[in-house]
Amino acid sequence: MTWPNETWHPIGDITDIPLRGARCVKTPRGKIAVFRTAENEVFAIEDHCPHKGGALSQGIVHAKAVTCPLHNWVISLETGRALGADQGAVRTLPVRNENGALSIALGSMMMAAE
């Protein structure tokens, strides 16, 4: 998806985030968790679980999801939705990767449709 009129905010290099890991970025809109999958895909979501507010950036990354470290809720990195029987969602943000330089679009925070 392209975001032609978006203002992009640099957040670092892809190598700053370990494979299957995360980095927390403080923004005017709150803490954003930026994840890197084993396939080198990068996703950005709000850094709090919709269940009890656990820091998703401290969770376990697997495939295109993260497991919350508090109560094992699994959150889709693509949609921000809780997976399985759990219900709830966090906002997602567009991420741009230009030769490893990462940027996020704060103006386009999207909430997954229930």
What digits encode the pLDDT tens for the residues 73-102? 999 999 999 999 999 999 999 999 999 999
Q: Which domains does the chain have, with CATH numbers?
A: 9-111 (2.102.10.10)
Closest CA to 33 of 7, 49, 56: 56
Write the CB contacts of 2 (distance below 8 Å, at least 6 apart in sequence). none
- Scan for tokens 């699994």, then name that residue: 74
How do residues 13-61 score in pLDDT, each as one tens digit? 999 999 999 999 998 888 999 999 999 999 999 999 999 999 999 999 9
pLDDT band, residue 107 (cuts 50/70/90): confident
Residue 113 pLDDT > 90: no
Give the global pTM: 0.90
